[in-house]
Structure 1
Amino acid sequence: MSKDTTDLLKVLAVTLVLFAATTLVMLYGIALLAQYGANLPMVGSLPLNAPPELIPLLADSRVFTTLAAVHVTATGLALLVTIGMLDMALLITAKAVAVVIAALLGFALGHMIYLQLTENTQLNLNPLLPSLVALIGFLVLSTVLAVSALRGLGNLRFVVGLGLVVLGPVLLVWL
């Protein structure tokens, strides 16, 4: 495993844990303000509601599938031309989307832990499965299937590029 991949995995792990912990702190802060701060003039006038129970719906968004399909198509097009700026742009995009998905997973996990601690609900990680698959997909797109890694294929990269251009729309329809 390369140093870049190890560093990316560390960033993803820290992001997930940080967002889970800060979500717990935020939700307990809202609960404390709703319980004890309602008489304060600045807090009493605010509607303090817990976040909606639709957090798993946010994690099950088709946005990540669409982004992955577009990224695969863009990778195919970038393989057909030789522009170093495109390679770097696609690599940064894949890593950034992976970090955003890790943050979303951390937020959803923190919310589920909060609900388990306050309302004794079951931890159900099944709604988070599409986001976890998207995270793994973007991790692969930023490491193994990065444009710079595929350029090492020589002239075979043109065939792979055409294949990825066709695979992008197929992924959008299939996923």
Structure 2
Amino acid sequence: MTDKAAVVSQDIIDLLKVLAATLVTFAASTLVMLYVIYLLAQYGANLPMIGAVPLSAPPEMVPLLARNQILPTLAAVHVTATGLALVLNAHTIDMALLITAKAVTVVVTALLGFVVGHMIYLQLTEGAAIQLGPLSPVFIALLGFLVLSSWLSVPNLRPLGNLRFIVAAGMILLGPLLLVWL
């Protein structure tokens, strides 16, 4: 294995560690937050400071995330931007796209952590079934941004030489098609 391949692999491993930590942290934090809200609503509603704060559980996030087209749209634009960046030769654009893909991956994981914590809370307090099926678009977006921040990142595609122009054309065409498919 070359040093560059080892670095790429270590970058992916580090990103996966960050994603796992983010998911667990946001799921646990959401669960604790919702139980604190529940306890404050039950036992502290008559206190002046607490009584003034609206203590209601956050709205159900699953339908909001499942019907949201922001993530697929952002993924489609990112694929097109990656294609354009491959045609250009600008280190700043390469790094901007890489950082954006990693940041969106972490944010989507944080949202999923919130949803997991909320679902666990609903399961424990109301016996509601945990259904991950409606979150399929979010999981697809997460997988897409994970791939865009690792294997299909511009810095990883640059070493393809002139073949990168064919990949660039494919990505520029694929971006708009993703809007239709997703």
Structure-2-length-normalised TM-score: 0.93
Please state whether the residue corresponding to 1:2 is helix, strand or coil.
helix
Larger mean Cα displacement after TM superposition, 107-116 or 155-164? 155-164
Question: For residue 50 of structure 1, what is the aligned residue in structure 2?
Answer: 57
Q: Which runs of 5 or more structure 1 residues have no equivalent in the other structure?
A: none
Paired residues for 1:31-110 under 5 Å = 31-53=38-60, 55-60=61-66, 61-110=68-117
How well do the aligned residues superpose, as a CA RMSD in angstroms?
1.0
1:46 is displaced (CA, Å) by 2.4
1:155 matched to 2:162? The reply is: yes
1:168 matched to 2:152? The reply is: no
Identical counterparts, % of pairs: 66
1:113 matched to 2:135? The reply is: no
Question: For residue 7 of structure 1, what is the aligned residue in structure 2?
Answer: 14
Q: Which runs of 5 or more structure 2 residues have no equivalent in the other structure?
A: 1-7
Letter matched to residue 102 of structure 1: T
Superposed CA deviations along residues 34-80 of structure 1, whole A, max 9, x for unmatched, are 00001101111222111122x10222121110010000000000000
C-alpha distance in 1 between matches for 2:173 and 2:57: 44
Structure-1-length-normalised TM-score: 0.96
1:133 is displaced (CA, Å) by 1.2
Larger mean Cα displacement after TM superposition, 41-50 or 77-86? 41-50
Superposed CA deviations along residues 13-42 of structure 1, whole A, max 9, x for unmatched, are 000000000000100010000000011011
Question: For residue 131 of structure 2, what is the aligned residue in structure 1?
Answer: 124
Please state whether the residue corresponding to 2:152 is helix, strand or coil.
coil
Q: After the TM superposition, list the runs of 4 or more consecutive aligned residues in structure 1 that deviate by more than 6 angstroms.
A: none
Question: For residue 27 of structure 1, what is the aligned residue in structure 2?
Answer: 34
C-alpha distance in 2 between matches for 1:164 and 1:137: 13
Q: Does structure 2 retain, via aligned residues, the 8 Å contact 1:59–1:108?
A: no
